[in-house]
Structure 1
Amino acid sequence: MKRGKATKTEWCLLGLTAVFLCLLLVLSHTEQVPLDPGVVVETETEVPQEEVAPPFEPVDLNTADEAELDTLPGIGEALAGRIIAYREANGPFETVEELLEVSGIGEKKLADLDGWITVNGTADAVP
């Protein structure tokens, strides 16, 4: 790279950059409005739980179809199909913990489903 005197174009660009930075500095100081010490700014508000997440009904393992099971966290199409296949082969689930018998569901996944699933309308506490 050849070093030498700056060209007229480079001086123009440098000047325009300086003007731009000065304008930004002026604008940043003019838009600041000092707060009145008597004004209280509230930063936290409480939102009722109903507005954050509407209440939902847990999915019943004995009546849910594949689409309903697929809405559960960590349960995809394949796992939903295995849950239904297990239910058809072994009869209705008696407890939520019986879900551990389905291939692909372990303790962690069962814990993640706590509050999301039920058996015959009874939400057993997941250990």
Structure 2
Amino acid sequence: MERQEKGGSTYLFLALVTLAFLAAVLYLTFGANRTEQEGYTVQTERPAREEVAPERVLVNINTATAEELETVTGIGPVLAQAILDYRAEHGDFQTLDELLEVRGIGSAKLDAMRDEITTGGDAP
């Protein structure tokens, strides 16, 4: 007899746990969405902070140092030195497309950096 009572309390405990679980599931399913149905909205105290990209300054490839050239997308120390060497040998760049003559710069790389560089003149 004692064993049946012990089993009965275990059964009762499991039934209560199951009932609590089902109540939680029902609340999460139906009760959590109640605020949306009733039209409640939540407002923050402060407006969301806008991400402002830092304004980039155009790098003049005819006057820039190696360090300044390295701030341009796609230009590292080796390519910066190649640009300086080309400029020393051939003089100032007349157009941005003239950079294609520098070893290591292809059309894709030039297109990637085009918005960050200038020759100092109006030539594209």
Q: Partners in 1 of 2:100 and 2:90 — Cα distance?
A: 13
Secondary structure at the counterpart of residue 57 of structure 2: coil
1:16 corresponds in structure 2 to none
**One-letter identity of the residue aligned with 1:97:** D
2:39 corresponds in structure 1 to 38
1:87 corresponds in structure 2 to 87
Unaligned runs of 5+ in 2: 1-16
**1:122: how far off?**
3.8
Percent identity between matched residues is 41
Q: Which runs of 4 or more aligned residues in structure 1 lie more than 3 Å from their structure 2 counterparts after TM superposition?
A: 39-42, 45-48
Q: Answer yes or no: is 1:74 the counterpart of 2:74.
A: yes
Give the structure-1-normalised TM-score. 0.61
Matches within 5 A, 1:43-54: 51-54=51-54
**1:46: how far off?**
9.4
Q: Partners in 2 of 1:123 and 1:37 — Cα distance?
A: 61
Matches within 5 A, 1:94-105: 94-105=94-105
- Is the 2:59–2:117 Cα contact (8 Å) retained in structure 1? yes
- Is the 1:60–1:121 Cα contact (8 Å) retained in structure 2? no
Q: CA RMSD in A?
A: 3.5
Give the structure-2-normalised TM-score. 0.62
| Count of aligned residue pairs for this structure pair | 99
